[in-house]
Amino acid sequence: MCELLGMSANIPTDICFSFSGLMVRGGQTAAHKDGFGVTFYEDKGCRTFKDALPSCQSEIAKLIKQYPIKSCCVISHIRQANRGRVSLENTHPFSREMWGRDWTFAHNGQLKGIKLLKLSWYQPVGTTDSEHAFCWLLSRIKDKYPNKAPRDMKTLFRYVDKLAAQLNAMGIANFFLSDGRYLYCHCSNNLHWITRRAPFGVATLQDVEMTVDFKQETTPNDVVTVIATKPLTTNEHWHQMQSGESALFNLGELTPL
């Protein structure tokens, strides 16, 4: 299985602390050694870094850990290959353009029979069940909204919720989907989140000796939500999502669907 890491914030924020915890799980403290990737959104644009090497060994991962790229929406993934060979094209996150925006997807789990689902607007580059699921999701969304997004994006994500239930029936479908403004998270069996806001405290990573005092790194108005497969810190309360549950975040806040 793989691991996911996402962030939604109301002010551009770096993910160096959380990524430091995820990075060592990529082949050092856990077996997710078959590549990693991370996408940072900046306004309508995004930058994606990928490597087929284990994140614990990757020079690209070291750059991300040390270079504080600030973003309001981030999606990251470390891979333990089950379907598809270890290669750059099979490394998450995957991105496609829809309605003039970049959409990004990362998935943890296996989906039996996913490639029997027909695609229309989008086709995979690699051979993973995950990328096929992403292309299927976007194809179904664009079939429903061919020209532009609905005015109320919650309407769109309620439709995504129905599609996610179909994926859930095919296996394990823990995944993130984002257009850079909204971060949609679906849990099949393993996903946790935490929202940090004032008064900020001290957090200690679980997988590496590292502590940060968020009070020294933030302003009183900051709201930052981190979503991960497993909690990254030892001294904070993370919300555990239930099987079949979805969560939508916008600018750090949980947004009811």
Question: Quick one: average pLDDT of 61-89?
Answer: 89
CATH code, residues 3-254 = 3.60.20.10
Domain boundaries, the chain: 3-254
**Position 131 pLDDT exceeds 90:** yes
Catalytic residue among 2, 46, 56, 135: 2
**Position 86 pLDDT exceeds 90:** no
What are phi and psi for residue 82, nearest 5 degrees? -125, -45
What pLDDT score was predicted for residue 29? 80
Q: What percent of the chain has pLDDT over 90?
A: 89
The chain-wide mean pLDDT, for the chain, equals 95
135 labelled catalytic: no
What pLDDT score was predicted for residue 26? 81
C-alpha of 247 from chain center: 12
**Position 81 pLDDT exceeds 70:** no
What pLDDT score was predicted for residue 85? 77
- Rounded distance between C-alpha atoms, residue 75 and residue 237, angstroms: 21
**Position 47 pLDDT exceeds 80:** yes
Token readout for 238 is 């993370």
What are phi and psi for residue 150, nearest 5 degrees? -65, 155
- Rounded distance between C-alpha atoms, residue 71 and residue 98, angstroms: 21
Query: pLDDT digits over 158-187, tens only?
Result: 999 999 999 999 999 999 999 999 999 999
Q: Which amino acid is present at 59?
A: E
What pLDDT score was predicted for residue 83? 66
> pTM for the complete prediction?
0.95
Q: Which amino acid is present at 124?
A: P
| Contact status, residue 65 vs residue 19, Cβ threshold 8 Å | yes
225, 156, 145, 161: which is closest to 193 by C-alpha? 225
SS3 77: strand
**Position 155 pLDDT exceeds 90:** yes
Confidence of residue 84 (pLDDT cuts 50, 70, 90): low
**Position 115 pLDDT exceeds 80:** yes
Q: Which amino acid is present at 255?
A: T
What pLDDT score was predicted for residue 203? 98
What pLDDT score was predicted for residue 30? 74
